Structure 1
Amino acid sequence: MDRLGSQCPLPGYPRPSVLTCLLILPAAFLTYPMLRTLSLQLHSAITGTYVSGAHSVVFINCPNEQIARDIARAVLEKKLAASVNILPKASSLYFWKGEIEEATEILLLIKTRTSKVPVLSSYIRLVHPFEIPEVFSLPMDQGDVHYLKWLEEAMEED
């Protein structure tokens, strides 16, 4: 028996081929976010507790209040979020094309399921006027159980 086969923890079982491993591992990594979200929701439903990271806050800067309101309303109508705060007049300084720029922007705080962040980000890139819109998220670590339950219910499809 070769050295690799002798390290198999279950004698009598065939070793998986390298090709099998190469096919299964990428599929597992690609489905991990979806499986993690489903397991978090199942755990929350069974135990009645909140699992850290099931929801996120997404930050998006907009050039003016009207665009911020339009984006906020569209995100809510598409059930990509449960709530959006519009925070006026954030002063921003940033590098753009090698120069330091300064602007007054409107900040959106979007509360959503972590599983919806990739779809939300894609949608923002389609509708946002900036060449590279600022879109990033932070997972919620803790929160009021009643609020978090409301977040879930608010994003349920009709």
Structure 2
Amino acid sequence: MERPESRCPPPGFLRLFVLTCLLILTAVLMFPMLRTFSLWLHSSFTGRYVSGSYSIVFVNCPNEQIARDIARYFWKGEIEEGTEVSLLIKTKTSKVSRLFAYMRLAHPFEIPEVFSIPMDQGDARYLKWLEEGMKEN
């Protein structure tokens, strides 16, 4: 006959189980911060850009004056209040590097603000229309 004590977990098992659960929960909750930190470290040590290191923030403003007030920034020791126009170009991801090379030649800025964001989702009809307009040569 079995002893009732043999069905109980060994001493310290509950403590180990709780600590393991807390460790897993902490790791899950801290993942975004740890990922950002690791990307920063990798970029710092290798000198190369790692996808996901930077973010784009879109801000809606109630009017142009408020947008101008928010957009003031320091550039070369002075407050810059440039009037820039955003150009939205839709292309195949496979053509982005060629587009970047063209922008470096065509753009008047020494370092043009050019980056890409891959499309994750979209209206199927629009994406089909886009595909038809960008047939590979």
Q: Normalised by the size of structure 2, how large is the TM-score?
A: 0.44
With CA pairs under 8 Å and 6+ residues apart, which has the higher RCO, 1 or 2? Answer: 1
Q: Name the structure with the higher strand share.
A: 1
In our comparison, the structure showing a higher alpha carbon Rg is 2
